Amino acid sequence: MSISLVRVDDRLIHGQVVVGWVQALGAKRIVLVDDAVRANEWEQELYRLGVPSGLKVEFKSVDEAADAVMEWAGASERTIVLVADVTTIVRLCGRTDIIEQVNIGGLHDGTSRSQRLSYVYLSEHEAKELSRLDEGGVKVTAQDVPTARVVPLRELL
């Protein structure tokens, strides 16, 4: 499968992704899946600034991503799919059965969230949604950088 990583990270494109994950996985493309960013050219340009030349970046809505995920899975170039929040990954996984694993890479403190790891804060609702994904066959783990220990979902609940 050429989808090397599906990651939930509220910072989306940033150093850990570009330097750490892209290099470790040999990815040639990042697909940022976010309805609001897809509709905002200015915001897309800001994200493009953080990407080195030679690395492709695409911006998709959840609907567009659901339609394209099969193509990415069969492509020769390795792809990283990024989403900013649990709601988006649940929507995307609900539209396709191609996604088999989700990495929680960084969800920061916010309303109704409690700390689960140094880089993961979840609300009870988000924890339940991730549990449903996991129970439905999508393996959910947390890992901030490629060299860190993979943390199973049960340790976040």
Q: How far does CA 15 lie from the centroid of its chain? A: 14
CATH superfamily of 3-147: Phosphotransferase system, sorbose subfamily IIB component (3.40.35.10)
Give DSSP secondary structure letters for 81-110.
EEESSHHHHHHHHHH-S---EEEEEEB---
* Whole-structure pTM value: 0.96
Please report, in tens digits, the pLDDT of each residue of the chain (157 residues total): 599 999 999 999 999 999 999 999 999 999 999 999 999 999 999 999 989 999 999 999 999 999 999 999 999 999 999 999 999 999 999 999 999 999 999 999 998 999 999 999 999 999 999 999 999 999 999 999 999 999 999 999 9
The closest of 31, 35, 34, 105 to 69, measured between CA atoms, is 31
CA distance 31 to 88: 13
Residue 80 three-state SS: strand
The closest of 90, 81, 92 to 127, measured between CA atoms, is 90
